[in-house]
Every structure is written in C-alpha cells, then in structure tokens.
Amino acid sequence: MMGVVNLVESDFNITVVGLGLIGGSYAMALRELNPRNLWGIDINKNTIRIAEEQGIIDKGYVNPEIPLRKSDIVIICLYPDLTIKFMKDNMNLFKSKAIITDTAGIKDKIVKEINTFIREDIEFIGGHPMAGRECGGLAFASKDIFSGANYIITPTRRNKAKNIELIEDIIKKIGCKKIVKISPEKHDEVIAFTSQLPHILAVSLVSSDIEEDVGSFIGGSFKDATRVAMINSELWTELLIDNSNNIINQIKVFEDNIANIKRAIINSDSSFLKSTFEKVRLKREELK
C-alpha cells in the first residue's frame, strides 16, 4: 500500500489511557511492536505500579501531561463518557500531529462530540475491537484477546488516509483478523443488533425467577444464552443509554419476532414454526 507508515520500522511513542482489561491487553499486544516508549495513564496508582512491575508499560502516569506531550499515538481505553471527557480536559496537552483512537463500544456520540472541539493539528479516529471477557481489570488482560477478532474503525472526512492506514497497521499487528471501516452512525446501528441486543437478552433471561435447583436442568443452551449476562453494570448502562434509539429499535423488532413465535405456539401453528426454524437455521449457518 502506498503511503503506509510501517509502525514497526518507525520510532513512535505510544500511550495507552486506562489500564483495564482492554487497555492492559492493548499495551501487552503493542509491546510486541517494539515502540520507542510505551506509556500508560491511569487514575489508580496501584494499577500503574503493577503494569510497570510486569513490564506491560515502560512507565505509567496519573498526570497525563508528561506522556501526552511526547506521544505520537494515544489509545484511549475508557468508558464512552470518560473518553470524551479525557479528550476535552487534555486537548491542549497533545503533541502536534498526534493520532488518537479509542476502544469504546459506541461511536456516534464520541466521534461527533470530539469533532466539535478537537484541535486542527491532531486527529481522532474512532475504534471498536470486538473483543472482551466476562471479567474486567488489568488482572484479566492478555494480548490474546485481539487474536482473530474483528475490529471496527469509524474514520470521518477529517482523517487523513495515511493516518487511517497507520491505525489499521497497528490493528493488524496486534493480531486482529478483519478490519471494517464504517461511519460512526452505521456502527452504532449495527452494533445495537449484533452486540447490545444479545447482552440484553441474556440479562432478561437471567432476570426471570430462578428456582434453587434450576442448575441441574441446565444444558448448553442456557449456559450459552446467559454467559454475557455477567456484564459490567456501569459500562453497559452508559453504552445502552448512549445508543438508546438504535437499541430500542432492535428490541422492538425482537419483541415482534418472539410475539410471532408465541402466537404460533398458542395456535399450534406447526407450519409457521417449522418454516421459521428452517429459515433461521439457514441464516445462522451462513454466519458460521
């Protein structure tokens, strides 16, 4: 590709902001790219100490000023609203020509708000790695969480092609399988269906009254359907409220679908059930 900056041959300082599950994993994966300096920013001194001791970062800071002034690339791994706040609060500290990306699960609000106040000489490119774990925090971080994952980026007209390519280069090098470029609006619309709705279904299923001995009646279907019910309550409350229009639309479609099945069961409508199950089977097989 013309114009691609090859990170590994470059001489960049990278800062990861927020050393939780995703930030910690990102730092671990970035280490293999051998950046000049790999810094971390976190509000928790203990987290910084552990990340330094384990060599996950070269040095960590509670005060963002020192690393931001020298960082060519900044990867923000915070909750959506904190991502916007971090950008706003530290706008004057970024190095000229810095390229900044984030990892939050919604994109439209973040990209739009940041684009209202971002400096002309720096760039923000929204990102969303389709990777996670049931447990949060640096203790569960691993560079392997990106291995084979899909990664969505949401560049806008503000972004230069060479900077988008640099972010793509990093994403490939941390092990992701596929990069999808899409608008922030479209990202939020699709993710409401493929990620947020399944989480809401899992939560709604576990919300039913469960009898004491229900564990003995559980097979793979219940386990799989409820694995993601163990969500981070703070983060997911934000994600759902920030993407409320899309997620409400998806819930409504889902409610219609389950109401159709309920009606068919009430009416013993075998032919509707059979044809629905057959259609769905083919559709799901195509996704494998």
User: Between 13 and 42, how does the x/- string for binding to a second copy read (CB under 8 A)?
Assistant: ------------------------------
Q: Is 93 in the site for a second copy (CB under 8 A)?
A: no
Q: Is 147 in the site for a second copy (CB under 8 A)?
A: no
Q: Residue 147: which residues within 8 A CB-CB, separation 6 or more?
A: 175, 176
CB of 96 to a second copy, least distance (A): 34
Q: What is the dihedral of CA 132, 167, 71, 65, to 10 degrees?
A: -50
Q: Is 161 in the site for a second copy (CB under 8 A)?
A: no
Beta-bridge partner residues of 40:
16, 60
Q: Residue 49: which residues within 8 A CB-CB, separation 6 or more?
A: 60
Beta-bridge partner residues of 37:
13
Q: Is 175 in the site for a second copy (CB under 8 A)?
A: no
CB of 177 to a second copy, least distance (A): 10
Q: What's the CA gap between 270 and 273, in Å, rounded?
A: 5
Q: Is 231 in the site for a second copy (CB under 8 A)?
A: yes
Q: Is 206 in the site for a second copy (CB under 8 A)?
A: yes
Q: Is 280 in the site for a second copy (CB under 8 A)?
A: yes
Q: Is 195 in the site for a second copy (CB under 8 A)?
A: yes
Q: Where are the alpha helices (DSSP H) in 127-160?
A: none
Mapped to the 3 state alphabet, what secondary structure does 239-264 carry? HHHHCHHHHHHHHHHHHHHHHHHHHH
Q: Is 140 in the site for a second copy (CB under 8 A)?
A: no
Beta-bridge partner residues of 115:
none
Q: Is 276 in the site for a second copy (CB under 8 A)?
A: yes
- The DSSP annotation for 207-238 comes to HS---GGGGGG--HHHHHHHGGGS--HHHHHH
Diameter of the chain by CA atoms?
A: 68
CB of 170 to a second copy, least distance (A): 18
Number of residues interacting with a second copy: please give it, by CB under 8 A.
85
Q: Is 199 in the site for a second copy (CB under 8 A)?
A: yes
User: Between 234 and 273, how does the x/- string for binding to a second copy read (CB under 8 A)?
Assistant: x-xx--xx--x--xx-xxxxxx-xxxxxx--xx-x-x--x
Member of 180, 183, 184, 185 binding a second copy (CB under 8 A):
180
Member of 131, 141, 164, 167 binding a second copy (CB under 8 A):
131
